[in-house]
């Protein structure tokens, strides 16, 4: 691991990652995008990092090509109190993988670290995950199709026409919606679709959920559940799902749809907005 990234902030204390081997052909570097729940590192080849910093001569010009991650390394910031708790978390990931498959999520090899730091022991959940290169789909940017077109324009080096690419992405989003609905109906769980950066579209027309750790239950009553960070991610994720269907795929939604008619009533959405407001004001306080 790159010595500069050896110490990472976890909450307000510094963690020494003594379970990562520094030597070898790989370098772990903090990823430039980050979230609230996970620490994300890109796993880079040392020789690619050398080219990025020292440069290489391409067609007579000195270039500094960005080192592309071979994998992403995730450390969940949550600290677990028992092995059972952490195994439940891994089981939820397995459910997600079973329903969505490797085509629609960034697959991860999850593992547990019994971490010992200055005499204190902690159980940490980590994952070595497929890296997805692409643009972030923001479900609140409407109308959905224009947002997709902007994302296509932002991506370089694609040999597809916008129409072919749009058709492919939409087909994948439709599959995603269908599979998430199945997962909800069969298991009563929904992954976090709401976080910024959780959904990515790629140059070759794939659509992937990369945030695979915040999988929350849906309650069939009036309770609005908040997640461990105080965010109503279940309700907002259902809202994102409906936005993908209505705005991105331009489907007309039935007013009797049992999922949406339960979660997306104006009264309930009002309460969800208030919970979101509280969450954001606590974040910026």
Ligand X SMILES: Nc1ncnc2c1ncn2[C@@H]1O[C@H](COP(=O)(O)OP(=O)(O)O)[C@@H](O)[C@H]1O
- The residues of the shown chain that bind Mg ion, judged by CB under 5 A, are 35, 195, 198, 211
Q: Segment contacting ligand X (CB under 6 A): 29-37, 80-88, 221-229, 251-259?
A: 29-37
**Is residue 197 a contact residue for ligand X (CB under 6 A)?**
yes
Given a contact cutoff of 8 angstroms between Cβ atoms, the answer to whether 122 and 79 are in contact is yes
φ/ψ of 102, rounded to 5, equals -70, -15
**Is residue 198 a contact residue for ligand X (CB under 6 A)?**
yes
> Could you say which of 43, 72, 124, 126 contacts ligand X (CB under 6 A)?
72
Q: How far is the CB of 139 from Mg ion (least distance, A)?
A: 13
- What are the CA-CA distances from residue 95 to residues 62, 100, 182, 185, 255 (Å)? 48, 9, 11, 13, 29
**Is residue 202 a contact residue for ligand X (CB under 6 A)?**
no
Complex with Mg ion: residue 15 or 209, whichever CB lies closer? 209
Give the list of residues 6+ apart from residue 143 with CB closer than 8 angstroms, or none.
Answer: 247
The interface with ligand X within residues 82-141 (CB under 6 A) comprises 106, 129-132, 136
**Is residue 233 a contact residue for ligand X (CB under 6 A)?**
no
- Supply the angle between the helices 266-284 and 233-243 in degrees, to the nearest 10: 120
Q: Is 258 exposed, middle or buried (0-12, 13-18, 19+ CB in 10 A)?
A: exposed
**Is residue 8 a contact residue for ligand X (CB under 6 A)?**
no
Rounded Cα distance between 32 and 50, Å, is: 18
Q: Segment contacting ligand X (CB under 6 A): 1-9, 166-174, 205-213, 234-242?
A: 205-213
SS3 at position 174: helix
Contact partner at residue 92 from ligand X, Mg ion, none, CB < 5 to 8 Å by partner kind = none
Q: How far is the CB of 40 from Mg ion (least distance, A)?
A: 9
Rounded Cα distance between 218 and 188, Å, is: 5
Contact partner at residue 72 from ligand X, Mg ion, none, CB < 5 to 8 Å by partner kind = ligand X
Q: How far is the CB of 214 from ligand X (least distance, A)?
A: 6
Nearest to 250 by CA among 160, 173, 184, 176: 173
The interface with ligand X within residues 211-230 (CB under 6 A) comprises 211, 213
Q: What is the DSSP annotation of 74-122?
A: EEE---BSSHHHHHHHHHHHHHHHHHH-TTTB--EEEEEEEEEETTEEE
Its sign, for the CA torsion 71, 196, 111, 186, is negative
Nearest to 216 by CA among 197, 230, 202: 230
State how beta strands 56-58 and 61-63 pair.
antiparallel
**Residues touching ligand X: how many (CB under 6 A)?**
22
Q: How far is the CB of 265 from Mg ion (least distance, A)?
A: 26
Q: Segment contacting ligand X (CB under 6 A): 35-43, 183-191, 222-230, 236-244?
A: 35-43
Q: Segment contacting ligand X (CB under 6 A): 8-16, 60-68, 207-215, 274-282?
A: 207-215
Complex with ligand X: residue 36 or 164, whichever CB lies closer? 36
Please give the residue ranges that form the binding site for ligand X (CB under 6 A).
31, 33-38, 40, 72, 106, 129-132, 136, 195, 197-198, 200, 210-211, 213
């Amino acid at each position: 691991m790159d010595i500069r990234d050896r110490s990472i902030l976890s909450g307000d204390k510094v963690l020494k990652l003594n379970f990562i081997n520094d030597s070898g052909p790989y370098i772990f570097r903090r990823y430039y995008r980050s979230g609230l729940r996970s620490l994300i590192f890109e796993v880079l080849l040392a020789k690619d990092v050398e080219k990025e910093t020292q440069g290489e001569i391409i067609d007579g010009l000195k270039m500094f090509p960005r080192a592309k991650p071979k994998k992403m390394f995730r450390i969940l910031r949550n600290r677990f109190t028992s092995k059972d708790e952490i195994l439940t978390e891994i089981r939820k990931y397995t459910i997600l993988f079973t329903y969505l498959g490797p085509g629609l999520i960034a697959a991860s090899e999850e593992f547990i670290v019994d971490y010992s730091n200055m005499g204190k022991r902690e159980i940490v959940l980590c994952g070595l995950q497929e890296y997805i290169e692409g643009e972030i789909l923001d479900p609140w940017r409407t109308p959905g199709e224009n947002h997709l077109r902007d994302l296509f324009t932002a991506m370089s080096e694609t040999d597809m026409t916008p129409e072919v690419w749009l058709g492919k992405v939409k087909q994948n989003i439709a599959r995603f919606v269908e599979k998430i609905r199945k997962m909800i109906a069969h298991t009563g769980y929904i992954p976090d679709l709401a976080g910024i950066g959780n959904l990515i579209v790629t140059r070759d027309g794939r659509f992937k959920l990369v945030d695979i750790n915040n999988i929350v239950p849906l309650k069939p009553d009036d309770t609005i559940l908040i997640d461990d960070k105080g965010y109503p991610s279940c309700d907002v994720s259902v809202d994102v799902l409906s936005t993908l269907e209505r705005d991105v795929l331009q489907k007309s939604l039935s007013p009797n749809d049992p999922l949406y008619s339960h979660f997306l009533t104006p009264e309930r959405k009002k309460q969800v907005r208030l919970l979101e407001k509280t969450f954001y004001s606590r974040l910026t306080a």
